Structures are given as C-alpha cells and as structure tokens.
Structure 1
C-alpha cells in the first residue's frame, strides 16, 4: 500500500481487433501507438507508478454487435491485449455482460472490483489515459475518471 498520492496510467483497449489492420474493428493507424504506449508504460514502471489496462471482453452474443461488427470476443485472438500483460497492475474487463455495453473502464462489470475503488485503494488521485478509440472508450474512461473525482488527462499523442 502506498502512503502518498500518485498518478496512474490507464491504457484503454489496446487489443488486436482495434489495433491490428487485420482486426474486425480496426481503427486507422491504431498500430502506430504501440511503441509510444510501451515507452509510457516503461516510464510508469520505472517510477513505481501503477499501470491499468482496460479491455473489451465480450460474450459471443454481446448487444454491441447490433451496432458494431463482432469484436474482442472472450478467449479469441481479437480480444488479446497487444502489450505485455506483466506490466499491468490491474486489468479491467468491460462489456462482459450480454445485454449491457460499456465504453468506460470505470463501469462496474460483474463481480470485479470497480476501477475507482482499486485506484483509491492504491492512493491514486490522478490518471493519464491513452489507447483506443479516442471518441468512444478513451473519452468515456476520461469523463468517468473526472466524475469519480480524479484529476485526468488524455495523452493526445497516444490516442487515435
């Protein structure tokens, strides 16, 4: 447990289906963020600051597939995070319930510990957010961080 306030890095949905040109919901130039995100993760690790990854983790019949092509289906290549999982202190799976979509990493999913509780437990008062996709999951995570009382910044050069 930390005894001072600190900031955390939240890497949003850097997954195969979004970041790889062969992914089912590929976001243009998503693959170009990898080196910069890895560098930022390394910076946080070297300074003993927490790193959080969020990920879509959809069942095969998820409600978002009415709007979007099927993507990030649980236990498939498309759902794989394209970063070293050992570098994350906490991984948030979202969109896990069939009839409830979730863009934000702060939305409670099943019985997992809510992200805001995990961050507060680790004395985090500020977050930096990066990843995919800025207009949807990155922005929703940023907005919810603010709603939960965290100082929040989007790292503009590390979003698409």
Structure 2
C-alpha cells in the first residue's frame, strides 16, 4: 500500500503570489496533481503550515534594531537588548535561541506566512481539485489526512513531527508517524525541499519502521536553496536507508 505525503503545499509557498514563494513550486504542484491522477495512491496525507501572526518566526514576535523579514536573531542580540521579545520572557527566548545555536542553527525571521484563515494558508486550487477527484473516485473510503503544524507561537516547527529544539517527535508527531508507518511505501513531496521536507525526512530516517519505505518524488519538490547542506539527508536515505527516487 502506498501513502502520498505532501508537505506544506500552502499558497504562500506554492503560488508565485505567496509571501514566501519557493521557486518552481507551482510547477512541482502540477506534478503532484498529475501524480495523484495517474498513480491513484491508497492514501493521501497533507501537512498544512499553520501560524498566528504572533509567532517566533515572524517580526511581530520581536522588537528592536534590525527586526525585518530574512534577518537573523541571535542570542547575543537578546542578551545585549538590541532585540527583545514583545511578550515572551527574555529567559525563555534566550533558552530557545541558545539551544538552536548549539545545533549549528540560526533563527531567521520570515515574512508573515500561512496565517490561519488567510489565502496564503489555504491549498492551491490545482491540488484541491486533484485530491477531491481522487476522494470522490473512491467514495471517501480511502484515508485522507490533513495535519496542521506550527500553531505554537514560541518555537519553529519545520518537521511535521517535531519542533526545532526537540530531539524526538512530540506526541502528535508520533501519532502521525504511527499512521504513516502502516504503509508499505511513503511517497514524499512538497515544500520546501531544503526546509520542512528535509526536516520531516530526518525524523522518518530516525524511525526504523520507515527503512526501505521512503520514495522521493523529486518532480513534486522545490527548494529555496538548491545548494543547502540540508539536502544531504536525501542521499543518506538513498544510500543507507533503502529509500528510492521516483
């Protein structure tokens, strides 16, 4: 049995009018819709990036010098008072940033995206039409899941399964992993290939139940930075975890 896992196909990522458009994502989305029509998977699971305006990755969370989209916030900036959280405590944000930096990460501020109820939060029409045609074909009898992620304001959640500073998937993430692990194949696609897709793949890579099951649908992915070190996870899975490209 095959599950098609589509990661974060929100308008803000997949449409050229979106606030955080991933280059070539609109083309990749058409490939995903075509895959659904041609391959008729046994199940479809879609993650939906879901944020409030007040979110650690948005400027509204912060105040001070240099707070703007695509700027980086470092613990030293908060320590010196150059940047400060608008409502969260200084101690809380320092702990978060230091934990991130200890793993070699830098906290980036993004344009506001995927705000609950907005056009950018919704799925593009081409995907909605393909999914609903598939669902209607099977009279609603095949599994169709939508997983929302990112509502918690005080932490980034790139992976479907875990927050940035966690070492293991959270309780909800484990429930999603349990559902996906029931399938013989999990076809992975979505956006961005070097962020949310890669981080989700890392969590599946750490779960032995997915060994030999992952299938990477490259035509259905697009990356923000095609040279990102984060893309190495795909080669690792292909070489040592039994994954395949399709």
Q: TM-score, with normalisation over the residues of structure 2? A: 0.56
- Out of 43, 58, 79, the position equivalent to 1:65 is 58
Q: 2:230 maps to which residue?
A: none
> How far does residue 117 in structure 1 lie from its aligned partner after superposition?
2.2
Q: Does 1:133 align with 2:192?
A: yes
Matched position secondary structure for 2:199:
helix
Instruction: State how far apart, in whole Å, the 2-side matches of 1:110 and 1:57 are.
Output: 18
> How far does residue 110 in structure 1 lie from its aligned partner after superposition?
8.2
Paired residues of 1:97 and 1:109 also in contact (CA < 8 A): no
- For the pair shown, the structure with the greater C-alpha radius of gyration is 2
> How far does residue 56 in structure 1 lie from its aligned partner after superposition?
0.5
Give the number of equivalent residue pairs: 151
Matched position secondary structure for 1:54:
strand
Evaluate the alpha carbon distance shift between residue 15 and residue 61 of structure 1 in structure 2; reply closer, same or farther with a 3 A threshold.
same
> How far does residue 155 in structure 1 lie from its aligned partner after superposition?
1.2
Evaluate the alpha carbon distance shift between residue 38 and residue 68 of structure 1 in structure 2; reply closer, same or farther with a 3 A threshold.
same
> How far does residue 43 in structure 1 lie from its aligned partner after superposition?
3.8
Instruction: State how far apart, in whole Å, the 2-side matches of 1:134 and 1:112 are.
Output: 19
Matched position secondary structure for 2:147:
strand
CA deviation map 1:26-54 (0-9, x unaligned): 1112111122101222345x35x111101
Matched position secondary structure for 1:128:
strand
- Out of 29, 36, 39, the position equivalent to 1:34 is 29
> How far does residue 20 in structure 1 lie from its aligned partner after superposition?
1.1
> How far does residue 78 in structure 1 lie from its aligned partner after superposition?
0.8
Evaluate the alpha carbon distance shift between residue 126 and residue 144 of structure 1 in structure 2; reply closer, same or farther with a 3 A threshold.
farther
Q: 1:101 maps to which residue?
A: 156
Instruction: State how far apart, in whole Å, the 2-side matches of 1:132 and 1:51 are.
Output: 16
The RMSD of aligned alpha carbons is 2.2
Q: Runs (4+) of structure 1 moved beyond 3 Å?
A: 85-88, 108-113
Matched position secondary structure for 1:40:
helix
Q: Does 1:52 align with 2:45?
A: yes
5+ unaligned residues in a row in structure 1: which ranges? 1-5
Instruction: State how far apart, in whole Å, the 2-side matches of 1:113 and 1:58 are.
Output: 21
Paired residues of 1:142 and 1:154 also in contact (CA < 8 A): no
Paired residues of 2:44 and 2:145 also in contact (CA < 8 A): yes
